[in-house]
Amino acid sequence: MAAAADGVRQPARERILDTAFQLFYAHGPRGVGVDTVIAESGVAKATLYKHFPRKDDLVLAYLDRADQAWFGQLRAAARASGDDPREQMVAMFDALESACRREGYHGCAFINTAAERADGSEVHARTVEHKTVVRAWMADLARRAGAAAPDDLARQLSLLLDGGLAAGVLDADPATPAAAKAAARILVDTACPAA
């Protein structure tokens, strides 16, 4: 049963969500039944359904948490490089390196979840929304960096990032994130010539 770092028991909703996050990320939402989440989180079935009336509500909360974590890591890696948007677009790939080195790394939570769901479902729509928001942030950086085609550069960087997330699982080669970052540097330097 989940407890906070100070030994105090977490509220039921947080225990459920923490448990679901770990299980869904490791096995995919489809691979984890509600009964497993209930047993692992130490809550009653009625408690789970009080907080998450449908399994999709729990999956959406999982994706919200994954969004906060991953998008937060991308922005933090970008900001760590300073104020130059050209450098930020390359530095965000440091988040890829950190992710791929993490114990229990299973790739992109959004790509993995989208692969389980049909187009048009609420869960699938949430995965698309995440990718759209991240790409819009990249396009804003590209605009501020002076790219002639900022949306194109954002799409290219997004594809490179998603490919790096997948390759981190498939080949588990520690050189993959550095290769992705080097490719990002080429894309950014080509699309945003230095002033």
Residues 151 and 168 in one domain: yes
Same domain, 154 and 64: yes
Residue 133: what pLDDT? 97
Question: Averaged over 69-85, what is the pLDDT?
Answer: 96
Query: What average pLDDT score do residues 182-195 get?
Result: 92
At 131 the pLDDT is 97
Closest CA relative to residue 103, chosen from 158, 22, 4, 17:
22
Identify which of 187, 14, 195 has the alpha carbon closest to the alpha carbon of residue 89: 187
**Domain assignment of residue 155, given as a range:** 55-191
* Cα-only R_g, the chain: 19
pLDDT single digits (tens) 61-76: 999 999 999 999 999 9
**What Cα–Cα distance (Å) separates residue 26 from each residue in 20, 65, 76, 106, 141?**
10, 15, 24, 6, 32
Kindly state whether residues 14 and 60 are assigned to the same domain. no
Q: What is the pTM of this model?
A: 0.90
91 Cβ partners below 8 Å, 6+ apart?
A: 77, 78, 80, 81
What is the average pLDDT across 112-122? Answer: 89
47 with 60, same domain: the answer is no
The pair of structure tokens assigned to 169 is: 């699982």
Helix, strand, coil share of the chain (percent; to 5): 75, 0, 25
Residues 9 and 71 in one domain: no
**Is residue 25's pLDDT more than 60?**
yes
In this structure, the answer to whether residues 92 and 146 fall within a common structural domain is: yes
- How does pLDDT run across 39-56, given as a tens digit for each residue? 999 999 999 999 999 999
Q: Please indicate, yes or no, whether residues 81 and 122 belong to a single structural domain of this protein.
A: yes
Asked if residue 64 and residue 92 are part of one domain, the reply reads yes
Give the CATH number for residue 5: 1.10.10.60
Is 178's pLDDT higher than 90? yes
Considering its fold, how many domains does the chain have in total?
2
Paired tokens of 81? 């490089």
Name the token pair of 142: 């590209």
What CATH number corresponds to the domain at position 113? 1.10.357.10
Same domain for 68 and 118, yes or no, is yes
pLDDT more than 70, % of the chain: 95
Structure confidence at residue 2 (pLDDT): 45
Indicate if 122 and 137 belong to the same structural domain: yes
